[in-house]
Structure 1
Amino acid sequence: MKKALITGITGQDGSYLAELLLEKGYKVYGLRRRTATPNFENIKHLENEIEFISGDLRDLTSLTEAVKATKPDEVYNLAAQSFVGDSWRQPIYTSEVTGLGVTNILEAIRLSKRDARFYQASSSEMFGKVVETPQKETTPFYPRSPYGVAKVYGHWITVNYRESYDMYACSGILFNHESPRRGIEFVTRKVTDAVTKIKLGLQDKLHLGNLDAKRDWGFAGDYVEAMWLMLQQEEPDDYVIATGETHTVKELVEIAFQHVGLNYQDYVVQDPQFVRPAEVDILLGDPSKAKHKLGWESKVSFEDLVKMMVDSDLAKNKGQ
């Protein structure tokens, strides 16, 4: 039986990845940071099938112990301070967890289980102020947030360990991927939650920043399959994972409001407080390498994704 250790298992991607690996017959371990109120909402239905190991990306000793205890065949590093907006308010914490945390987990693997295959969650935010469109594996990085900068460090340290220590280490450069399990602070979920609350009379307006920002949005459930596929190849490599389509925040808002029979113009307020200090205007990924080498492509359309999230939030908010 194959064994996998997932950091960030309680997050959106961690929960979908745990589901996928359990379906494939893996023994799944989840690294859990000690918090006063653990948030298990995304993995409630899997809680009894996952074995939790305590550890923190900022603490090498705890990670080395976790790798020693679990002896994983595969390690997926999905943990991070993952909210771009907060990275300006918490730049040092973001650097420690999202950046240096990657070195800690790689070092723990190098010291305790060097033949484990490693997946690093890289991000399209590394491209930031894009120098070419669409963005592919060879596109230079130009991050525009402390989060993006930390992710670039995590990406390159993964390449460095692969080349320095002959470790099987991959990075997936994932473009925006969403689901009903997305954190409420992310724009897609903020929109779908607000739309349903407005429909139910629980909220009056939706305050948003830049409606013209363009993103390449896919379904998280599709994207975790790409992570797994990367670790099944003969040679480790880095891949852009994206839909290859771009949509504006305005389109997202239109579809979500339309789905519940409302006109977004009656409810959306553009609010300067939600405009970032340095904006990323367009992210559009070229997933052709992943399609060619991994046989992977995105399945759920943008429109279906938005409707899926609205339906889920409608059910949740009706139950309040």
Structure 2
Amino acid sequence: MGAFNLTPSDPSTFILNGIPGLEAAHIWISIPFSMFYIISLLGNITILFVVSKEQTLHKPVFLLLCMLVLTDIGISTSVMPKALCIFWFHCKRITEDGCITQLFFFNKAMTMQSAVLVTMAFNRYVAICDPLRYATILTNSRIAKLWIVCLIRAVLLILPGPLLLSSLPFCANRVILHTYCEHTAVVQLSCGDTTVNRIYSLVITLVIIGSDLTLIGLSYGLIIRAVLRISSKKVHWKALNTCTAHICVMVISYTPVLFSALTLRFSQGIAAHVHILLANLYVLVPPMFNPIVYGVKTKELHDKVGKYICRM
């Protein structure tokens, strides 16, 4: 009955309910959420600032890192400000256009992040397997072109989702049991036939994650094969050590997404608030940890960041 009491009188408005079952704890939940969001913004903006200021960091590996940073900021910022407004001010209303716009930008940023991780894996492959041609294959201008390709790919793959949603009729009860406009949660409110939307969502998830993970796996398979051909174990570890930051970021980025997607589709017995907490964690955790991982594991970046911190 509580959901119906929240139903908006404006037919073009949705209600974001936050985390169902944990409404009384919203203020307490907002404390770690806001801390994670602030840490992620500070870390990512710091990397963008340092790389932009230091000419010695204007290299493909750091430009790719900046691309990852921008997608991380896009992912968390498309969701967290509204979620915190729900927790702090009970500002739960969102227009239909606003909801579809949020959904588009969030999914676009997620898709671009996955594509950037693939590009970073290719960067590691070229650096280890074909180091003599690295400077000619991965130039700064080519990295910029790859960023445009990632953007176009994300738009082409994600845009049909909001367009399909905008054509659906929605029921009188427009309460979204989530902190943001997640595709499945919005589709469930429709009174029309959502078969196409559900098929699209499943296919896009499989295409993006499946193809990107396959390309990353292929890159690392070739890297491992090339490293094993080297007789020196010292060189083995040195080569593989250059990949540790990227591997850590991949684990941090893909694990929560895959776990959340699997529990949402195949574990119907799990409570709704668990699904939603997981969905919020994969919005917050990777953007917070990615700059920390690269800041710690990449000595050149670590030294430059330390230099600016010491000046403060």
TM-score (norm 1): 0.24
- Of structures 1 and 2, the one with the larger relative CO (CA 8 A, separation 6+) is 2
TM-score (norm 2): 0.25
Q: Report the structure number with the largest CA radius of gyration.
A: 2
Q: Relative to total residues, which structure has the larger strand share, 1 or 2?
A: 1
Bigger share in helix: 2
